[in-house]
Amino acid sequence: MTPLLRYIAEEIAIDHVDGLLSRREALRRLALLGVGTAAATALIAGCSDKREPEAQSPATSSSARETTGAQTALPTSPVTWSGPRGELQGAWAQAPDPRGGVLVIHENKGLNDHIRSVAGRFAGTGYSALAIDLLSAQGGTGTFADPAQATAALANIAPADAVADLKSGIDELTGRVPGRKVAAVGFCMGGGMVWRLLAAGEPRLSAAVPFYGPTPENPDFSGSKDVAVLGIYAAQDQRVNATEPVARAALEQVGMVFELVTEPDANHAFFNDTGQRYNAAAAADAWQRVQDWFARYL
């Protein structure tokens, strides 16, 4: 099992343990990944043994959701460009007078309306944003009627291919914001892709913000040593938090500018205001930290 496949399989198992998926649905989604019933049962049991009780977050009202800045979102439009393996798809949000550009990397659900709204929010704060669809080679996220099948397809993408597509996304982004600095921001699986992009060497980035993204094993960030990194974690996200020391050591080793922040009383995917783990206070604080980081480095 590849690291990406294991990460997504464990995420499905933890969603079941936390009560977000029924056992039947979890087993179905794991089967789409090629995980048999016996292995899936063992995986769920292992995740359950390691899981601590989740702290209860206050219910989020619609007004609380608006405080995170979603009302500033500008519209996005679909775009395509030539990538290393064929046509790439994305959503483009144009800021009127861009201060910089942001490559937005989606979760393991693909390029959906939530990620489009994040790109629009960046544009609303003055940074033109390109949200890339890493399922472009499979026809795009929109071709999957079942979101679980989209997740399974993402799990089977070779990390090297994903990084090549991301680099092509930076090509496209720099062409759309000529003369401006650019950053990469990713969420969950996309946060892990930000770390992989840094490990692959991407000197064109000025800033990078992985949200609760797993760090690859033994990363070497020397090819991206001038990138200012803001890593955002969640206190209850034990699985991803276990990789934070690896990220810290790798960042320190090459002398990079960085800050690693852990939001209290928050769990994995707390920034996604369409998800069940959404935490308005943590999301608002993280959004402000990103804006402050960009003001300094982008």
Rounded distance, CA 124 to CA 106, Å? 19
Domain ranges of the chain: 3-48, 77-297
What's residue 72's pLDDT? 85
What is the distance of C-alpha 173 from the center of its chain?
18
pLDDT tens per residue across span 232-267: 999 999 999 999 999 999 999 999 999 999 999 999
Classify residue 256 as left (phi > 0), alpha (psi -120 to 50) or beta: beta
Q: Please tell me the distance from the alpha carbon of residue 144 to that of residue 100, in angstroms, as a whole number.
A: 32
Residue 127, classed as helix, strand or coil, is strand
Q: Where are the beta strands (DSSP E) in 134-276?
A: 182-187, 205-211, 228-234, 258-263
Distance of alpha carbon 99 from the chain centroid: 22
Please tell me whether the overall predicted TM-score, pTM, comes out greater than 0.85 for this model: yes
Q: Taking a C-beta distance cutoff of 8 angstroms, is the pair 215, 250 a contact? A: yes
The reported pLDDT for the residue numbered 2 is 87
- In this prediction, residue 48 carries a pLDDT of 84
Tokens 């959503």 sit on residue: 91
The Cα 266–Cα 281 span in angstroms is 9
The pLDDT value recorded for residue 71 is: 53
Please identify every stretch of the chain with a pLDDT value under 50, giving residue numbers as ranges. 54-70
Q: Judging by DSSP bridges, how do beta strands 100-105 and 182-187 pair with one another?
A: parallel
pLDDT of residue 219: 97
- Per-residue pLDDT at 56: 44
Rg value, the chain, Cα: 18
> What's the pLDDT score for residue 224?
97
Give the pLDDT score at 142: 97
| pLDDT of the residue at 55 | 46
What is the structure's pLDDT at 65? 40
Residues forming beta bridges with residue 132, ordered by sequence position: 90, 105
CB 93 within 8 A of CB 177: no
For domain 77-297, the CATH architecture is: 3-Layer(aba) Sandwich (3.40)
